[in-house]
Amino acid sequence: MTHPTKIFGHNEQFKILNESYRVKFPHAWIFNGIKGIGKYSTAVSFIKSICKIERGYTQNFFEINSEENPVLVDDVRLLINQINLTNANENQNCFIVIDNANGLNFNSYNAMLKTIEDPPSNTIIIIISHDIKRIPKTILSRCIKLDFKPLNKKNMFEFCKYYDIDCKHFDLEKNYFLTNGSIERLFFLVSEEGKIIQEYFAKLENNKSFKMSEFELFYDLIAHNYDKLFSSIMNHIFFIQKGRFLKYYQNKAYIKKILIFFSNIRILYIQNLNIDKKKELYYLLSEYIKTNEY
């Protein structure tokens, strides 16, 4: 069976799906792994290979809860009813892919549970999860779990070459750890906003104290999209500190400094202080700078 689209890093998962399909294919799966590593792409690639042609793929494929179109419980019920009415061909399988499943609410899960317990004939459900711990046990116990690992450095280079991704402003060899093995994360890092964050943290690297002029400029550059970019900044700091932790793990004094940093940030959010965005960012970065001395 040929791959209709290129798969990076998940050929073993694709093989498991193919071999299982030749025998007796389970009707409910959970694709588990961090966000942005190709779980959804692998699902679509597999479905296309089963349906043989693009037209067959679109006629037998239903997707709900994409990031662009999050669903409500009524959307789940409507889809289930639609599948029950249209899936009358015993010679063809119908595939339902539920993307970003961790974003579903309790009622949506309950509506989905009945379909997983008693699915329409020839219906296969694939649930895309970024955090298996947030999937209700009632759903988890009725599905086959397929784990996906982050892409390694070789996979990332192959992806960039295949899709001609411009990484001239991002040293993938040196900064692979910042991607966390996620293509979605890589796309952000090579974006204009990603470059702004990287350039600022490069300036912070050797700073032992805060330079307000640089901070003010940085805040002005990200203020228009602060909520989204603050999350990206938090991720950026986490991966930097993770890399430092692994590199200097024998330096107990420095490791203690990193742990204190995370403890202070955690306390800030547990207390849920109602501080403005600028002060929030200032506190985060001023605490981060304290960990610059190894």
pLDDT tens for 92-107 read 778 888 888 888 878 7
Name the amino acid, one letter, at 128: I
- Alpha-carbon distance 181 to 235, whole Å? 13
For residues 10-20, average pLDDT: 94
Q: Which of 2-6, 70-74, 102-106, 242-246 has the lowest mean pLDDT?
A: 2-6
Q: What does the pLDDT look like over 47-69, one tens digit per residue?
A: 888 876 545 556 677 787 666 66
Long-range contacts of 105-111 (CB under 8 A, 24+ apart): 105/73, 106/136, 107/73, 108/71, 108/72, 108/73, 108/76, 109/136, 109/138, 109/139, 110/73, 111/73, 111/76, 111/77, 111/80
* Count of beta carbons in the 10 Å neighbourhood of residue 223: 12
Q: What does the pLDDT look like over 224-240, one tens digit per residue?
A: 999 889 989 999 999 99
- pTM for the structure as a whole: 0.84
What is the number of helices (H) and of strands (E) in the chain?
A: 14, 5
Average pLDDT score over the chain: 85
What per-residue confidence (pLDDT) applies to 191?
92
- On the question of pLDDT at 116 being above 80, the answer is yes
- On the question of pLDDT at 1 being above 50, the answer is no
What per-residue confidence (pLDDT) applies to 40?
92
- Alpha-carbon distance 91 to 110, whole Å? 29
- On the question of pLDDT at 2 being above 50, the answer is no
The band of 155, judged by pLDDT with boundaries at 50, 70 and 90, is: very high
Q: Percentage of the chain surpassing pLDDT 70?
A: 85
Given a contact cutoff of 8 angstroms between Cβ atoms, the answer to whether 17 and 147 are in contact is no
Q: Which residue, among 181, 32, 37, has the nearest Cα to 101 in the 3D structure?
A: 32
Higher pLDDT, 273 or 101: 101
Nearest-10 crossing angle of helices 73-86, 106-117? 20
